[in-house]
Structure 1
Amino acid sequence: MLCQSCNEREANVHITKIINGVKTEMHLCDECAKAMHGEKVGLGYEMGMPLSFQNILDGFVEMMGGFPQSIIGEKTCPLCKMTFEDFRRNGRIGCDECYKTFKDEMIPLIRRIHGNIQHNGKLPRRTGGILKYKRDIDRLKDELKNAVSKEEFERAAKIRDEIKELEMKLKEEENRG
């Protein structure tokens, strides 16, 4: 495929942008891509610079409409004195207190990047049974609410029975431990 800019050399840099569901692709050769150096492409990624978490973070913030100037200029961690602007610039937190200080600004970013703000990693085999049952029960309760709101009562009855069964297993597991 030829470069879409010069139409002379082979394109080996491929850039895909999806904005509001509209996909745009650019296919460039090395020279044309280097000529774009300094011009932002996509999520805050600048051609010629390595892709970093900070570039991605800046892109998400940009997509969300940026942070209000009042947050950027005023918020400071009381422990390490890091400002929100410092966090925004380098993409790193200074200390554990920063998580509390900048919580309101970080939650939407984390949710957007990871899809959730609660970590649901692997469970240990020995002690994970109780946690697994609790997670499954919580998940099924959400499904039950959804089924009832959609008036899917047969499905809701099956889910209710599954919840009762898991609750019994959970009690057995707790009594064993």
Structure 2
Amino acid sequence: MLCERCQERPASVHVTRIINGDKTELYLCQECAREMQPQLNFSIPKFLAGLLDYEPGLEVKAPPAGERCRECGLSYEQFHQTGRLGCPDCYHYLAARLDPLIRRIQGSSQHRGKVPRRAGGNLRVRREIERLRAQLQQLVEQEEFEKAAQVRDRIRDLENRLGEQGGGQ
């Protein structure tokens, strides 16, 4: 598909605008999207800043005004303006403000991505055990003790397999 603006280059940017319920879609090339950015009124730092300011029902104590990452010197205010952290240590030093933000955006502050089939055997088994424990808890609450016993036995089998492979904690 060609860019809807210049009709020359392939479109690689899809912009959807919804204004007062009216939806408009644009398919633009990189150059036209860059030229139109002020008109589109979208930037990643502004988007992140909007997320940072939106905290309904969430009370987070702001770090003291002078608190900064001890490694790179980045302050939370600087992160708020740019939407970028300075180094991996910023997560530790600014955790009081970053954890709630990451939870709100991602749903969790702990990575739960895919596990490679070849290398992730133990991790896959541990996740299966976690899932089964949650299921076991539900079954006990529902007083389905026969099914709960089967799930309990499956958990034990998986834990034994982990122990044999040396993949315990």
TM-score by length of 1: 0.63
2:21 is the counterpart of 1:26: yes
Residue in structure 1 matched with residue 150 of structure 2 by the alignment: 158
Give distance in 2, aligned partners of 1:142 and 1:172: 24
Residue in structure 2 matched with residue 38 of structure 1 by the alignment: none
Q: Report deviation, 1:103.
A: 0.9
Residue in structure 2 matched with residue 64 of structure 1 by the alignment: 55
Structure with higher RCO (Cα < 8 A, 6+ apart): 2
Residue in structure 1 matched with residue 117 of structure 2 by the alignment: 125
Give distance in 2, aligned partners of 1:79 and 1:170: 38
- Contact 2:140-2:148 at 8 Å conserved across structures: yes
Give distance in 2, aligned partners of 1:148 and 1:74: 50
Q: Report deviation, 1:67.
A: 8.1
Aligned partner letter, 1:134 = R
Residue in structure 1 matched with residue 40 of structure 2 by the alignment: 48
The runs of at least 4 aligned residues of structure 1 exceeding 6 Å deviation read 66-69
Q: Report deviation, 1:13.
A: 6.3
Aligned partner letter, 1:76 = R
Give distance in 2, aligned partners of 1:75 and 1:133: 41
Residue in structure 2 matched with residue 143 of structure 1 by the alignment: 135
- Contact 2:72-2:86 at 8 Å conserved across structures: yes
- Contact 1:14-1:26 at 8 Å conserved across structures: no
Q: Report deviation, 1:111.
A: 1.2
Residue in structure 2 matched with residue 7 of structure 1 by the alignment: none
Q: Report deviation, 1:83.
A: 0.9
- Contact 2:60-2:96 at 8 Å conserved across structures: no
Residue in structure 2 matched with residue 20 of structure 1 by the alignment: none
Residue in structure 2 matched with residue 42 of structure 1 by the alignment: none
Q: Report deviation, 1:131.
A: 1.5
Aligned partner letter, 1:71 = P
Aligned partner letter, 1:94 = G
- Contact 2:71-2:89 at 8 Å conserved across structures: yes
Aligned partner letter, 1:126 = R
Percentage of matched positions with identical amino acids: 35
TM-score by length of 2: 0.65
Give distance in 1, aligned partners of 2:23 and 2:125: 52
- Contact 1:147-1:156 at 8 Å conserved across structures: yes
